[in-house]
Amino acid sequence: MAEYEVDRYTIEPVEGDDQIALTIWGTDGNKWEYGIPFNRQSKRYTFEEVDVSANDFGEDFTDPLVDEIEALLDEICD
């Protein structure tokens, strides 16, 4: 596990694109930005860094984050 934790994060749709923007700020002052592309018809998304996120920030952060991504996709795609 890394020497830092998540301080805060945002997750939001990218206007005009089939992508979700995820920004994570760590307690060490670092910021990570991810673009998560998705398909509106299938609601499938590509977030290959999810394993890295779990390793860096722990599954206690990543598991609920995945749930949030999927809930946002449901909202966007309906």
Tens digit of pLDDT for each residue in 8-61? 999 999 999 999 999 999 999 999 999 999 999 998 999 988 888 888 888 999
Q: Is 30 within a domain? A: yes
pLDDT at 1 over 70: no
How high is the pLDDT of residue 52? 86
> What is the pTM assigned to this prediction?
0.88
Among 21, 18, 13, 24, which Cα is nearest to 62's?
A: 24
**Is 32 a member of any domain?**
yes
Considering the domain boundaries, does residue 22 fall inside one? yes
Domain count, the chain: 1
Domain enclosing residue 40, as ranges: 6-77
Residue 23 lies in a domain: yes
Note whether residue 1 is domain-resident.
no
